[in-house]
Structure 1
Amino acid sequence: MAENLSDIQEKDRYDVVLANPPFGGKERAEVQENFPIRTGETASLFLQHFIKILRAGGRAGIVIKNTFLSNTDNASVALRKQILENCNLHTVLDLPGGTFTGAGVKTVVLFFEKGKPTQNVWFYSLNLDRNLGKTNPLNENDLAEFVELQKTFAESSNSWSVNIQDVISSGVEKGQPTYDLSVKNPNKKEEAALRTPQAILEEMKVLDEESAEILESIKNLI
């Protein structure tokens, strides 16, 4: 963090970066001066560093808070813009709560390749039928569907693709795009709305009347 990004040379770059940077921290002003997009958010500074140290064509998988996808502060918007314009952010993996014990926040994994702009982003929402925790951690089997579908960026009830132009045009604040990536799953079935107590009582009344008619018919047959 003490290294100025402008000092990083080609010999300092890597082909692959996999990282889970600390998030929630606040960096001092003198540290922020080492980065073109200044922010106190530790994870956002690390993300800038990771992009910088990647070679052209280099690939990255970075864990970050899911709020990064939608935060409207200037630094978050600028950083999303940088990623989308300078990297191919091809995959966003939305992880369930409890994936990282003690984190207290939901996280996503950003998968991108440096050197060409993003055209489409493939999202996958990892939905499990159990709660994760220290004694019940995420395992390889949990990710099996994600790994298989990600090979072809296939659509499913848990996955969908978004054209980046739709992202740019849909999220606008004060006349400027926000590059909001908090896209809802269009393939997820909407849960049926709960009925009001009045509607339930009305249905019970109708059923009672039908039952009474049936009983009366039975009596006439006896």
Structure 2
Amino acid sequence: GKEKKSLAYIIGIMNMILHGVEAPNIIHTNTLAENLADIQEKDRYNVVLANPPFGGKERAEVQQNFPIKTGETASLFLQHFIKILKAGGKAGVVIKNTFLSNTDNASIALRKELLQNCNLHTVLDLPGGTFTGAGVKTVVLFFEKGKATQNVWFYSLNLDRNLGKTNPLNENDLAEFIELQKTKADSPNSWSVDVSEWLKPSSASHKSSESQTYDLSVKNPNKKEETALRQPQAILEEMKALDEESAEILNSILELI
């Protein structure tokens, strides 16, 4: 493994030694300092599982190692993961959910890169608090390198409790996701988006805003819209009007007696 920060590097080494690994293979270096052009086939992997740091910033000289230049560490790591995967390799990557819809040039270019060169088959939308201290909502991108995306299956994980350090996400919380993902079925919490047309060359004027920016925002079409609560004043006024109407009807009846 590789670790940039000195303290985390030392803690990682100590932790592995305490768990019986006498010679930990951890290098004190910045993974992003490696030029993507230097990665060879022997350096690639079949599987990448990652929760990269997001929200950080990298210097301009580090950004020069990547075809899509950005200071956002998570976007640089995502490019790195795509590069180090073998053809047919699979990845599961945690990233902040704003990556799906950010309109800056780097985010748009990276989403296009991901959809064109990988099959982004699943996006798992996680509830707030899944990662303590993250401060933002996150999603998990599941993709396979080597073929373009046709359909993206989304699953929005909705729980009836708040997550936190003393109440973390558990295996049972993911049971429905795991079951539905096998067939990528639609449900109140899941849906599919056909993105195949997005990747076909055509005039920009004939493309939707989503296809022009490769917007993958989590928008559940199966979610029932919540009825807006009425203001107390409006309710009281309606009650008053109904009372007055009832009084008029009663007076009319009394006049007939």
Q: Check conservation: 2:149, 2:196, Cα contact below 8 A.
A: no
How far is 1:210 from its partner? 7.6
5+ long unaligned stretches in structure 1: 217-222
Aligned to 2:87: 56
Which gives a bigger RCO, structure 1 or 2 (Cα 8 Å, sep 6+)? 1
TM-score, normalising length: structure 1: 0.89
Aligned to 1:170: 208
5+ long unaligned stretches in structure 2: 1-31, 200-206, 252-257
The residue identity in structure 1 corresponding to 2:51 is N
How far is 1:204 from its partner? 1.3
C-alpha change, 1:135 and 1:211, in structure 2 (3 Å) is farther
Give the secondary structure class of the aligned counterpart of 1:177: helix
How far is 1:23 from its partner? 0.3
Aligned to 1:13: 44
Aligned to 2:217: 182
Runs (4 or more) in structure 1 with deviation over 3 Å come to: 165-169, 196-199, 206-216
Provide the alpha-carbon RMSD of the alignment. 2.2
The residue identity in structure 2 corresponding to 1:105 is V
Q: Is residue 2:124 matched to residue 1:93?
A: yes
Deviation string, structure 1 residues 179-222 (Cα, Å, up to 9, x no partner): 01004100000011223455423431355358769999xxxxxx
Q: Is residue 2:57 matched to residue 1:26?
A: yes
C-alpha change, 1:140 and 1:162, in structure 2 (3 Å) is same
Identity of aligned residues (%): 85
Give the secondary structure class of the aligned counterpart of 1:117: coil
C-alpha change, 1:158 and 1:206, in structure 2 (3 Å) is same
Q: Equivalent residues in 2 for 1:47-196 (5 A)? A: 47-165=78-196, 169-171=207-209, 177-196=212-231
Query: What is the CA–CA distance in structure 2 between the aligned matches of 1:67 and 1:79, rounded to whole Å?
Result: 13
